[in-house]
Structure 1
Amino acid sequence: MNYQLGHVVAERELVRHTTDGREVTVQLRVGEPLRIYDVDKNVQDWFCPLQIMGMGDGKVRAAFGVDSLQALLHALILAGSLLQSWSQQISEKLTWLELSELGLPPAGILQGLSQSESK
């Protein structure tokens, strides 16, 4: 499915340190979470579009949730996972504010949340 970014609600600029020594700006843009309806199932869910420019394919992707906050959280987790995967594939380092920590929630956070709920 082709998603549109729509109204951008959050942005982050990262720096990609290329193997030939250049610094390239990578921009993460997150769109406003939107409600979607499945009329056949009478279900209402949410999706949150995101786009990464300067690394990867620049395609708009979407993360889903049962409400707008969960969709937004999933979008940030997806963005972090994509950035980490792409940088490892091309052996390039990414930084934010000159730090290797990009300030995005780790993919394992969802597993950690479900484990803490079962205690």
Structure 2
Amino acid sequence: MSKSDSNPYWRYYRCAFAIEKKLSNDSHIFKWVDEALLSEIEALTLRTEKLEQVVADITNGTMEVAKKMFEELQMKLEEESDQRVEEAVAEANYEMKEMMIIICFGCMIVVGCTKLVG
């Protein structure tokens, strides 16, 4: 605590080495408490801003990874859907060909029967 006439009872920090050696130079690593606290607050503000940026970067990175995973899943689902549609179309084509063969064969039988009767 200051005992000077200009700053009576003001609290300050001073180097422990200077106190141990009983140095008379009060400016040896000397800082008023209120200035030191402001400096600490400013330093913590900078650290907080840096940490917020790191969190934002991580969050953005996480969102990018999630977006990429979503796009990959969407592509996979589209491929599976396309494959199922192609399989359904192929099966319908096969069944239609079977029906056409049966109809053609039935028509030939009917024509043959009419020639035999007529």
TM-score normalised per structure 2: 0.27
> Per chain length, whose mean CA-contact separation is higher, i.e. which structure has more relative contact order (CA < 8 Å, sep 6+)?
1
TM-score normalised per structure 1: 0.27
Higher share of residues assigned strand: 1
Higher share of residues assigned helix: 2
